[in-house]
Amino acid sequence: MAKSINKILPISGMTCASCSAAVQNALNKTKGVKKANVNLATEVASIEFDPELVDMNSLVKAVENSGYRVGREDATADNTEEKLKAAARRMWTAWIFTIPIMLWMIPEMFWGIAWPNQQVYHIGMLTLAAIQLVVVGSTTYRSAFKSVTHGGANMDVLIAMGTLAALSTGIMHFFIPIASFTGVAAMIMAIHLTGRYIETKAKGKASQAIRKLLELGAKTATILQNGTEKEVPVETLQVDDIIIVKAGSKIPTDAQIIEGEAAIDESMATGESMPVHKTAGDNIIGATILKQGYLKAKVTKIGKDTFLSQIIKMVEEAQNSKIPIQEFADKVTSYFVPTVIAIAIISLAVWLIFPQSLGKVLVWAVNFLPWINPELGYLSQAIFAAVAVLVIACPCALGLATPTALMVGSGKGAENGILIRKGEAIQTMRQIDTIVFDKTGTITRGTPQVTDFYSKLEEKEVLKLAAGIEKGSTHPLATAILEFAQSKQVEAADMTDFQIIAGHGIKAKHNKNNFLLGNLELMQANNIETEEIKLRIETLQKQAKTVVMLAQADHVIGVLAIADKIKPDSAAAISKLHKLGFRTVMLTGDNQETAAAIAKEANISQVIANVLPDQKVTTVKDLQNKYGRVAMVGDGINDAPALKQADVGIAIGSGTDIAIESADITLVNNSLNSVVKAVLLSQKTFRKIKQNLFWAFAYNMVAIPLAFLGMLHPVIAETAMAFSSVTVVSNANLLKKEKLEI
């Protein structure tokens, strides 16, 4: 069976949560589609499907069969501006017709004067309202018609039914004694389109994170060609091109410095404002700014492989994902519009059957609700209540509650060097009470150095053998030994018959002699005498140093102590996590004494030492069984399975690509303070989601019964409906002002 692939499709024509639900259902029912999520806020469908069972044409057809269209794939800022301008045009046109209607209604409403006479007044109101509904309401009516003909019912169906019902009273008024609500129909449409405009504007603000990231990239680059500097478009750069970057300019793409040194502002990636010093051999990130200095660098990544492109991809993935709490809202939304139509019909029927009983409610309410008119005829009051029910109900607020908060949260995260790859991590993070840290490169700097060296033989000879055994290894401890040998101007010996003992050390031969290089466990397993150096080993371990021994035959001939200092802010960050109520655990392959010393320095609650690389997943599982939900923070290849196993995987951004791909959250900054920020971001984002869902549900639960009882004027009802969505989006935008610190 073919591997499933993921595809993002922009969807055009969606106006509310019922629309996105209809598209999502259509895609999920398509054979070969494993999972489809349709996001109303970003107006895209994220689809996982089997390419052997379904192709792009089938997906497009499924969207079209639900009554919507697949839009442009390059939908960026220009598209958003076009939508905003179109929404503004419709809104102002609606008010051009509605304001005269309102002014004409005032004498009749307050003094009972229908100027110049009743017949002209009603014909004029009916004409103006009808023209307005045709001119600016056509989009709404087309959307409603399309939704119904495709077996669905969206928000536009409610608006269409409400306005047409109100308009019909103007026609009925000429034949039966009924109040005319034609002016109300025009006002409902004008307020509806005003709400759409404000909502579009607010959604644009919520989604600006991607646009900001797209705008960060440099447009041109200076390359060195045959000894001459030449300015070229960034799109033409190739890997291994030599670029020149001068003070004050943007670095055009990811590269490695080959000459020069500079202070670089990496705040767009890390959120940290202090410039970072870089020199030959260091990697630099495209779109960061060279503040001081001059650099010659070799291009290492271009196009979609660059760091900036990966950030954009991660933010898009987060914004297009759905989190568990949204599932309930989606279920409610799928039944929302049909239920509201049913309630409106029941309202009409109840008012016609029990007018006197419900009329008593209005007589009581007229004392504090000035728009209520108990003297309206029963048919007029029944239509009044039914129209109010239709236009007060709002599934949009439910549909926008989660995705807008997720959009703003993921954007704020990107600005602070926190890349949320999976949206569900935001919800899961609040259920975490234990955070597990890998030691090397996570709590510590990841660049250990030899601090002590003891030898029974001639020092250079022992160091030559140790370097020979470690030659070719990329392990941090091996690198430390090789660098130490190089600093002593010692060349590595030629070794043969290498045998790696995972988590313990290496066996090798030199001139037919067997040598062992590794930890105490390796020595004991091979019956190497260590009693005479036991005190020395214990002393070094208490100083948080890792002890590596070189043995020949049955005795130790050399001891190297290697220390990896903790990062400057590790202890403070872990203390902050304790304040937030988290339990912290450190995993390390070090022995218990060394691990305990590092844990004490870093303020870690619990230490699990002597953990081999292949035991990390099992250890995380054990912690999950013991404590419940667990987050894991790591950076290496051997951390990837554990990051996957954890309920939330957090990768240090300077770590390996595989660790980052395995994680739910990636921290661009190497600082553990970013873990604190990530926790606070997830908590604050989820709080906004809960607030939005509460207000969306509460609004509908309170508003619909009031409208049913005839206590809400349709115009006030529509105003409340229009601004319920705006309130939800605006509340999500407040997240931008939240501070991620403790």
pLDDT surpassing 80 at residue 693: yes
Average pLDDT in the chain: 86
Angle, helix 182-206 to helix 155-172, in steps of 10 degrees: 160
Tokens representing 270 are 């890390």
**Is residue 438 flagged as an active site residue?**
yes
- CA nearest to 666, candidates 639, 628, 629: 639
Domain shared by 34 and 132, yes or no: no
When pLDDT is averaged across residues 126-146 and rounded to a whole number, the result is 93
Domain shared by 159 and 13, yes or no: no
- Domain for residue 47, yes or no? yes
> Cis peptide leading into 116, omega within 30 of 0?
yes
Element (H, E) at 506: strand 505-510
Domain shared by 576 and 708, yes or no: no
| Residue 354: predicted pLDDT | 94
**Given 602, 628, 663, which residue is the final one in a domain?**
663
- Domain for residue 252, yes or no? yes
| Residue 464: predicted pLDDT | 94
- Domain for residue 311, yes or no? no
pLDDT digits (tens, 9 = 90+) for 586-608: 998 877 888 888 899 999 989 99
Tokens representing 265 are 């502002």
Domain shared by 133 and 177, yes or no: yes
CATH number at residue 595: 3.40.50.1000
**Containing domain of residue 10, as a range?**
5-65
CATH number at residue 538: 3.40.1110.10
Rounded to 5 degrees, φ, ψ at 577 are -65, -35
Q: Looking at the DSSP assignment, which residues form a beta bridge with residue 38?
A: 45
Q: Quick one: pLDDT band at residue 208, thresholds 50, 70, 90? A: low
pLDDT digits (tens, 9 = 90+) for 532-568: 888 998 888 888 888 999 999 889 999 999 988 888 8
Do 504 and 518 touch, CB atoms closer than 8 A? yes
Q: Looking at the DSSP assignment, which residues form a beta bridge with residue 244?
A: 222, 296
Q: Quick one: pLDDT band at residue 75, thresholds 50, 70, 90? A: very low
Domain shared by 527 and 654, yes or no: no
Domain shared by 202 and 118, yes or no: yes
- Domain for residue 266, yes or no? yes
DSSP 199-210: HHHHHHHHTHHH
Domain shared by 135 and 52, yes or no: no
When pLDDT is averaged across residues 126-137 and rounded to a whole number, the result is 94
**Given 563, 589, 614, which residue is the final one in a domain?**
563
Q: Looking at the DSSP assignment, which residues form a beta bridge with residue 436?
A: 585, 632
301: phi > 0 → left, psi -120 to 50 → alpha, else beta; which? beta
Do 256 and 298 touch, CB atoms closer than 8 A? yes
Domain shared by 440 and 570, yes or no: yes
pLDDT digits (tens, 9 = 90+) for 496-505: 988 888 778 8
Domain shared by 193 and 94, yes or no: yes
When pLDDT is averaged across residues 266-275 and rounded to a whole number, the result is 72
**Given 511, 539, 563, which residue is the final one in a domain?**
563
| Residue 1: predicted pLDDT | 44
- Domain for residue 382, yes or no? yes
Catalytic residue among 156, 330, 438, 564: 438
| Residue 518: predicted pLDDT | 92
| Residue 656: predicted pLDDT | 52
Tell me the pTM: 0.74
Domain shared by 154 and 123, yes or no: yes
- Domain for residue 732, yes or no? yes
Domain shared by 433 and 468, yes or no: no
3-state SS record for 644-670: HHCCEEEEECCCCHHHHHHCCEEECCC
CA atoms within 13 A on the CB side of 92: 5
Tokens representing 374 are 């108990």
When pLDDT is averaged across residues 253-260 and rounded to a whole number, the result is 92
- Domain for residue 309, yes or no? no
The residue that leads in pLDDT, 399 or 142, is 142
Domain shared by 85 and 204, yes or no: yes
Q: Looking at the DSSP assignment, which residues form a beta bridge with residue 465?
A: none
* Domains of the chain: total: 5
CATH number at residue 281: 2.70.150.10
pLDDT surpassing 60 at residue 696: yes
- CA nearest to 326, candidates 231, 399, 435, 266: 399
| Residue 238: predicted pLDDT | 93
- Domain for residue 228, yes or no? no
